[in-house]
Amino acid sequence: MTLKFGVIGTGAIGREHIKRITDKLAGGKIVAVTDVNLDSAKQAVEQYSLDATIYEDDQALCQDENVDAVLVTSWGPAHEQNVLNAIEAGKYVFCEKPLATTAEGAMRIVQAEMKHGKKLVQVGFMRRYDPGYVQLKNAIDANEIGEPLMVRCVHRNPEVPETYGTEMAVVDTLVHEIDVLHWLINDDYKSVQVLYPKKTSRAHAGLKDPQIIILETKSGIIINAEVFVNCHYGYDIQCEVIGEDGVAYLPEPASLVTRKSAQLSQSIMTDWKVRFIDAYDVELQDFMDSIKQIGEPNGPTAWDGYIAAVTTDACVKAQNSGQKEDVALEEKPAFYDNKAAVN
Amino acid sequence: MTLKFGVIGTGAIGREHIKRITDKLAGGKIVAVTDVNLDSAKQAVEQYSLDATIYEDDQALCQDENVDAVLVTSWGPAHEQNVLNAIEAGKYVFCEKPLATTAEGAMRIVQAEMKHGKKLVQVGFMRRYDPGYVQLKNAIDANEIGEPLMVRCVHRNPEVPETYGTEMAVVDTLVHEIDVLHWLINDDYKSVQVLYPKKTSRAHAGLKDPQIIILETKSGIIINAEVFVNCHYGYDIQCEVIGEDGVAYLPEPASLVTRKSAQLSQSIMTDWKVRFIDAYDVELQDFMDSIKQIGEPNGPTAWDGYIAAVTTDACVKAQNSGQKEDVALEEKPAFYDNKAAVN
Amino acid sequence: MTLKFGVIGTGAIGREHIKRITDKLAGGKIVAVTDVNLDSAKQAVEQYSLDATIYEDDQALCQDENVDAVLVTSWGPAHEQNVLNAIEAGKYVFCEKPLATTAEGAMRIVQAEMKHGKKLVQVGFMRRYDPGYVQLKNAIDANEIGEPLMVRCVHRNPEVPETYGTEMAVVDTLVHEIDVLHWLINDDYKSVQVLYPKKTSRAHAGLKDPQIIILETKSGIIINAEVFVNCHYGYDIQCEVIGEDGVAYLPEPASLVTRKSAQLSQSIMTDWKVRFIDAYDVELQDFMDSIKQIGEPNGPTAWDGYIAAVTTDACVKAQNSGQKEDVALEEKPAFYDNKAAVN
Amino acid sequence: MTLKFGVIGTGAIGREHIKRITDKLAGGKIVAVTDVNLDSAKQAVEQYSLDATIYEDDQALCQDENVDAVLVTSWGPAHEQNVLNAIEAGKYVFCEKPLATTAEGAMRIVQAEMKHGKKLVQVGFMRRYDPGYVQLKNAIDANEIGEPLMVRCVHRNPEVPETYGTEMAVVDTLVHEIDVLHWLINDDYKSVQVLYPKKTSRAHAGLKDPQIIILETKSGIIINAEVFVNCHYGYDIQCEVIGEDGVAYLPEPASLVTRKSAQLSQSIMTDWKVRFIDAYDVELQDFMDSIKQIGEPNGPTAWDGYIAAVTTDACVKAQNSGQKEDVALEEKPAFYDNKAAVN
Ligand SMILES: NC(=O)c1ccc[n+]([C@@H]2O[C@H](COP(=O)([O-])OP(=O)(O)OC[C@H]3O[C@@H](n4cnc5c(N)ncnc54)[C@H](O)[C@@H]3O)[C@@H](O)[C@H]2O)c1
Ligand SMILES: NC(=O)c1ccc[n+]([C@@H]2O[C@H](COP(=O)([O-])OP(=O)(O)OC[C@H]3O[C@@H](n4cnc5c(N)ncnc54)[C@H](O)[C@@H]3O)[C@@H](O)[C@H]2O)c1
Ligand SMILES: NC(=O)c1ccc[n+]([C@@H]2O[C@H](COP(=O)([O-])OP(=O)(O)OC[C@H]3O[C@@H](n4cnc5c(N)ncnc54)[C@H](O)[C@@H]3O)[C@@H](O)[C@H]2O)c1
Ligand SMILES: NC(=O)c1ccc[n+]([C@@H]2O[C@H](COP(=O)([O-])OP(=O)(O)OC[C@H]3O[C@@H](n4cnc5c(N)ncnc54)[C@H](O)[C@@H]3O)[C@@H](O)[C@H]2O)c1
């Protein structure tokens, strides 16, 4: 059985996912594409020699009977409507983050999905599929370090373009931690506070960098998250969970070790695209396999997309107020409780 | 374009490869299977819901016009004839190691392939596709550690069954190092000597364990290879290359780091099947992609299979004689020189 | 030349220092001892076969013409008076931490010393003599990681007795970080905030554990300090400084690495006494050598003792208020600026 | 009680030891010195402000009643006679390696000492006092890795002067491993073989570099020792012991870890003098303390010096013959069995 995809948005990551499904993974096929820039859609079809219908808009694509699942890789602000259209058509949806740019938008998707009555949506938080995070999650769930009490994580980029502003540190960068951490520690966020250390001279005028975001969960776990996007030395993602019995660390990516020039060293990546490249494969393969095996996606849900949206909002508020701000999440609907048996 | 496979031998690894091609990789399909045990072939077809013809023998399977490539995963002693039949039929072949159980047998395949006039055969030495070895190879080729002078490698298994005898340390275990090392250092073996350290009390009566195999290459590089198959603590593959300017190490597999019980530790695998599991995927994907893109496989060749066979023979001779033995390789035919452009 | 010591307080660390000076280091000699418990003083003299006068009180000991330097190892509350008596007598003083239990007390010593006109006092903050901290300091001062922006440090003990209360996390535990960090980053503290994560079930009723202390310096560096005194797994001191160009870490103590039972591991200490044992030697040797070579001690000064006292007070206030509290340091007198040439 | 030393040879290491005893360690004093170059002896007295008699020759110095122990730090060829003179005078001797330059010479010292009836001699193999080797030894003796089966060690220097010849790789460099390894694994050497890998282009014409020395012990342990004295990248001492249950490694020296320029790295020493600098202190302190506490030195004995001499000879023979050579040790006299209780 082949899962037939319609793709909305044939930009950078859209094409990467098209290539993945076409040339690397098993069981999927691109049968339809659209992009507000129709030329881009046509180029993509040509580039990957796709046997796919080109649609003028997302609604038409969603309605195509041949389409089993919709891949939303348009710009963030378009996601909400794209996803609602897909749900409307009763199609499975894999939506790149963010699910929606506002908490209300995300909630509208949650409600549309619940109304539809079956889980259709997976959000593209690929870190949950990274083998390192999976090991960390397994260790925590197996109680290997006891009850988690604190988390420390680091998100560092070598540099960012001029267009990258202070809020993006939360909205575009920290958002991956926001999703992966509550999943890791099985808890919900309660409040957030943002601190600004001395600014690096490498950050442009409008950007506060680094930032320290302190999240507290409902059970009292304190998360200390550093975002430092002009760290200069590399792309570096760290995460450690401190429990009652011990500490567990996200493993460093395996990389060549050398003894050279009076240094015993191991290389650090500089390109963020490489860091989770395998996770994108596993994520999409799991999306396809879960639909085939259990009839619904098994990854980050629309509810997780809602959590990310609400938390991101609170973080931005805390960035601006300098105060501790509430993360005001609604009660989780039972609909999102019964985790399917896979994974 | 889909590459259509006929599979000879539906045992353990045969089925893993069938599953890989069917459920995980892109661009391949199983269209024919055979096994001396026909029931096994039938079970495999059922287990993976294959749309495949079941053949009574390998020759008939090779002749099937629908078959583009033959996957040889029968027992070692059957490989030579399986591969010769596939070449005879002009089909691509992916043959699990060993290519043949004798140097003469491997040479017969080399000659059949050369007579056919085009490269058809890839041998299943998957380590060349392990990202760690690839990084090590790249570092050496980029002259990051200068001219290689010595190599040290370690192949440790936690335990082996009673049926595992002294020669298997070379024929079944070291054979992977034999292939990957000459590729790593771009050199050919010249001689070999085997030393037997104090025997572990965990080895059964008929097995000398550990063993130290010292290989010397034509350019004078000395390789110190330890095989220790009752090491008890885990499955552990190490490789370090000592060059004029520095040392490069095969990276440890990324694994969870913890601080617990007064230990800062990182887990070591115990199951060999897990260690190179991704490499099998990459290897088969590369086999398929190369055939499509450059018209021939691009991995370990029949000549590499011949090198492995000759070197294995010399190692066994050295195991028995206690002396330094020659590795008597024929001159490499130009046919195997022109490396295709991919990879 | 031998530096002749009078010791005030012959308890645990008093005797360790006596043993050090007598049996391990060069150039010192114990010539006088006192303790409020005179029996203890007598026992110490006997235990280490000292040729030393036993005094009934600290004042008498300080006045002994034979005494060049006074070693203050009495209980904390006695330190201030002990040190003032020594300064009064014009003697060098090595005073175990704390210099005084109040900021005012420490300031009285500072003023007495300044009135005396020459540096006499060294405070027993031995971490500055740990080779790991020295390497870290050198790297920072050599600008190897650029301007420091953030610091993260961890102080973990496996367990504490029932008598250990919440304030002791600052007064007895964090105090070592308080001293060593401002020295490391050449900065002064400005404010402090304390967070209480979820409490470990191993902490007794009266103790908040772990605690996160967030210090901000005058230049804007943010220090995130974790104190976790029931961490169970070991005694673990970590420190990392994040700069504009890179990150530098306090090295892990060198310890045996093993591959065993499917773990690649390195042992972590459990006994805090062992962690800085060499630093105590270096500290006292440096005290003696500096006095001989440059006529004054060259380690942590009375001013550093004052900084520790003021900062500790602010931390305790922040523990109780839950608010950000000022660290209200007086202007540093020029007297403490001219660092002697040694070290 | 102060141990009074007479020093024979006031060259580089002679002066370092004089400084150590005078300025750093407790319980020793230099009271006499000599050197064939009398000016050197005079300079040393002046440099360290010693209150010491200058002797014209070693015999006179040994006879000085004020001298308790003789420190032999003359050139290697002079050691044998220096030590025999000290034994003749009934004095304790700390002799820098080598004890003697021939096996016969070392045996003459052994016999002189046995005739004297009491252990007097300690040889300056300081590695036994390195905390890393001590940890490794303790782990082996505590059976943490089970019965040792193989050892791998590495001795690398960044470069050597033109005067360093092929034999020096054994006589001056490997000699430290020769001593420390048999102590580590509680075994005696039986045979040795030397292999020459491809030569580094950095070695001058007369020097074979690197070299691999393969030692076999009486119980069958195989030691693979690499000496590579133009390794360029640093001074690097490695040692790992592979046992039935696991592997134990000599710890890397603790050194600063940084994340910088896309590298996670740790510095490697380049100066051999720094690597074991603390071990020299501990070694001499132990020599003094043992004499005071148990009436005899407790470190490497004259018999260990003899083992080093015999093994070095066999290695040189193997360097030249290319064959496996016997290490022909005499039976160990009971005199050297009863290990004193300290340490
Ligand atoms: N998970 C991750 O790590 C990750 C990585 C990269 C990007 N993303 C997300 O993927 C999304 C796309 O990013 P990108 O880098 O590919 O951007 P891009 O600008 O390269 O591509 C976006 C494409 O969407 C098209 N588009 C915009 N609005 C549309 C609409 N309403 N209907 C149809 N097409 C529309 C644009 O024409 C463009 O071709 C973003 O939301 C981004 O946050 C996620
Ligand atoms: N690359 C690796 O790391 C790796 C790993 C495992 C196995 N292998 C190799 O793969 C081969 C198969 O190993 P396995 O573990 O799957 O063995 P297996 O015994 O499980 O399977 C072998 C199958 O081949 C069939 N067979 C034997 N002779 C045949 C013939 N002449 N024609 C058709 N079928 C025949 C058998 O009936 C059996 O079903 C071996 O050569 C082994 O060395 C390689
Ligand atoms: N730098 C470090 O890491 C470190 C480690 C341990 C202790 N310390 C400090 O050293 C001091 C002593 O600690 P300890 O563990 O040895 O305590 P202890 O209780 O074992 O010894 C203190 C001794 O001082 C004596 N004493 C008390 N008041 C005195 C006075 N007024 N005059 C003379 N003697 C008096 C007591 O009788 C006792 O013998 C404390 O201030 C402690 O904080 C520092
Ligand atoms: N344990 C170690 O790691 C280590 C390190 C360095 C040196 N050493 C050993 O220490 C010894 C000295 O080495 P060095 O580097 O100090 O050499 P050096 O040349 O600097 O000093 C040797 C001194 O001995 C004097 N001397 C020579 N013969 C003498 C004699 N018969 N009587 C009195 N004095 C005599 C010389 O004049 C010279 O001053 C050597 O045997 C060397 O192998 C050991």
Closest CA to A226 of D322, C214, D6: C214
Residue-level pLDDT at B339? 60
| pLDDT tens digits along D108-126 | 999 999 999 999 999 999 9
Residues D198 and D239: beta-carbon distance below 8 Å: no
CA nearest ligand 3 atom 15, residue: C12
Q: Is C264 on the interface with B (CB under 8 A)?
A: yes
Beta bridge partners of A6: A32, A70
Q: In terms of C-beta density within 10 A (0-12 exposed, 13-18 middle, 19 or more buried), how is residue A318 classed?
A: buried
- Give the confidence band of D146 by pLDDT, cuts at 50, 70, 90: very high
Cα(C137)–Cα(C343) distance, integer angstroms: 12
pLDDT value at B340 more than 50: no
Which two structure tokens, joined as six digits, stand for C92?
């060098």
Cα(C100)–Cα(D163) distance, integer angstroms: 61
Residues of B in contact with A139 (CB under 8 A): 256, 258
List chain C pLDDT tens, one digit each, 343 residues.
Answer: 799 999 999 999 999 999 999 999 999 999 999 999 999 999 999 999 999 999 999 999 999 999 999 999 999 999 999 999 999 999 999 999 999 999 999 999 999 999 999 999 999 999 999 999 999 999 999 999 999 999 999 999 999 999 999 999 999 999 999 999 999 999 999 999 999 999 999 999 999 999 999 999 999 999 999 999 999 999 999 999 999 999 999 999 999 999 999 999 999 999 999 999 999 999 999 999 999 999 999 999 999 999 999 999 999 999 999 999 999 999 999 999 866 444 4
Instruction: Find the CB nearest C258 among D131, D248, D256.
Output: D248
Cα(C310)–Cα(C315) distance, integer angstroms: 9
Q: Measured between alpha carbons, how far is residue C184 from residues A68, A125, C137, C151, D128 in Å?
A: 60, 39, 5, 10, 34
Closest CA to A276 of A13, A99, A44, A83: A13
Cα(B47)–Cα(A293) distance, integer angstroms: 15
Half-sphere exposure of B321 (CA within 13 A, CB side): 12
pLDDT value at B219 more than 50: yes
Residue-level pLDDT at D340? 47
Cα(C3)–Cα(C122) distance, integer angstroms: 15
Structural element, H or E, at residue D316: helix D302-321
Cα(C329)–Cα(C309) distance, integer angstroms: 10
Q: Which residues contact D130 (CB under 8 A, 6 or more apart)?
A: D276, D278, D279
Q: Measured between alpha carbons, how far is residue D336 from residues A195, D113, D298 in Å?
A: 67, 10, 11
What topology does CATH give the domain C128-268? Dihydrodipicolinate Reductase; domain 2 (3.30.360)
Pairing mode, if any, of strands D92-95 and D69-72? parallel
Structural element, H or E, at residue C55: strand C53-55
Residue-level pLDDT at A1? 79
- Give the confidence band of A342 by pLDDT, cuts at 50, 70, 90: very low
Q: Is D267 on the interface with A (CB under 8 A)?
A: yes
Calculate how close chain D gets to B149, using CA atoms only, in Å. Answer: 5
Q: How far is the CA of A4 from the centre of ligand 1 (A)?
A: 20
Q: Is B197 on the interface with D (CB under 8 A)?
A: yes
Alpha helices in B156-223 (DSSP H): 168, 175-185
CATH of A128-270, one of 3.90.1150.10, 3.20.20.140, 3.40.980.10, 3.30.360.10: 3.30.360.10
Beta bridge partners of A69: A5, A92
Calculate how close chain C gets to A125, using CA atoms only, in Å. Answer: 27
Which two structure tokens, joined as six digits, stand for A160?
């960012």
| pLDDT tens digits along C289-298 | 999 999 999 9
For chain A, what percent of residues have pLDDT higher than 90? 98
Q: Is C11 on the interface with D (CB under 8 A)?
A: no
Average pLDDT over residues B17-22: 97
Closest CA to C271 of C251, C255, C249, C287: C255
- Give the confidence band of D343 by pLDDT, cuts at 50, 70, 90: very low
| pLDDT tens digits along B145-159 | 999 999 999 999 999
CATH of D130-269, one of 3.30.360.10, 3.90.1150.10, 3.40.50.720, 3.40.50.150: 3.30.360.10
Calculate how close chain A gets to D334, using CA atoms only, in Å. Answer: 45
Residues C29 and C56: beta-carbon distance below 8 Å: no
Cα(A169)–Cα(A160) distance, integer angstroms: 10
Pairing mode, if any, of strands C92-95 and C121-123? parallel
Q: How far is the CA of A342 from the centre of ligand 1 (A)?
A: 29
pLDDT value at A283 more than 80: yes
Calculate how close chain D gets to A21, using CA atoms only, in Å. Answer: 32
Residue-level pLDDT at A339? 60
Interface of B with A in 113-142 (CB under 8 A): 131-132, 135-136, 139
Residue-level pLDDT at C42? 98
- Contact flag C25-D27 (C-beta cutoff 8 Å): no
Cα(B154)–Cα(B176) distance, integer angstroms: 11
Half-sphere exposure of B77 (CA within 13 A, CB side): 1
Measure the N-to-C terminal CA separation of chain D; round to a whole number of Å. Answer: 20
pLDDT value at B91 more than 50: yes
Calculate how close chain A gets to D46, using CA atoms only, in Å. Answer: 37
Cα(C242)–Cα(C258) distance, integer angstroms: 30
What topology does CATH give the domain B3-127+278-307+331-336? Rossmann fold (3.40.50)
Which chains form contacts with chain C, at 3 or more CB pairs under 8 Å?
Answer: A, B, D
Pocket of ligand 4 (CB under 6 A): D 8-14, 34-37, 40, 58, 73-76, 78, 96-97, 124, 126
Q: How many helices (H) and strands (E) does chain B have?
A: 11, 15
Beta bridge partners of A211: A227
Q: Is D24 on the interface with C (CB under 8 A)?
A: yes
For chain D, what percent of residues have pLDDT higher than 90? 98
Q: Which residue of B has its CA nearest to A49?
A: B1
- Contact flag B269-C262 (C-beta cutoff 8 Å): yes
Residues of B in contact with C257 (CB under 8 A): none
Which two structure tokens, joined as six digits, stand for B144?
């990051």
Closest CA to A94 of A130, A68, A133: A68
Instruction: List the domain boundaries for chain C.
Output: 3-127+278-307+331-336, 128-268
Closest listed ligand to the CA of C36:
3
Closest CA to C129 of C297, C9, C313, C7: C297
Indicate whether residue C80 lines ligand 3 (CB < 6 A): no
Which two structure tokens, joined as six digits, stand for C9?
């307080």
Closest listed ligand to the CA of A171:
1
- Contact flag A263-D267 (C-beta cutoff 8 Å): yes
| pLDDT tens digits along B97-151 | 999 999 999 999 999 999 999 999 999 999 999 999 999 999 999 999 999 999 9
- Give the confidence band of A340 by pLDDT, cuts at 50, 70, 90: very low
Which two structure tokens, joined as six digits, stand for A200?
């690096």
Residue-level pLDDT at C1? 79
Residue-level pLDDT at D338? 62
**CATH superfamily placement of domain A3-125+278-307+331-336:** NAD(P)-binding Rossmann-like Domain (3.40.50.720)
Instruction: Find the CB nearest B224 among D146, D198, D224.
Output: D224
Average pLDDT over residues B9-14: 98
Residues of C in contact with D25 (CB under 8 A): 24-26
| pLDDT tens digits along A154-213 | 999 999 999 999 999 999 999 999 999 999 999 999 999 999 999 999 999 999 999 999
3-state secondary structure of B286: helix
Complex prediction ipTM: 0.95
Cα(B133)–Cα(B124) distance, integer angstroms: 15
Residues C307 and C99: beta-carbon distance below 8 Å: no
pLDDT value at A277 more than 90: yes
Structural element, H or E, at residue C145: none
Domain B135-270 part of CATH 1.20.1280.290: no
Residues C75 and C12: beta-carbon distance below 8 Å: no
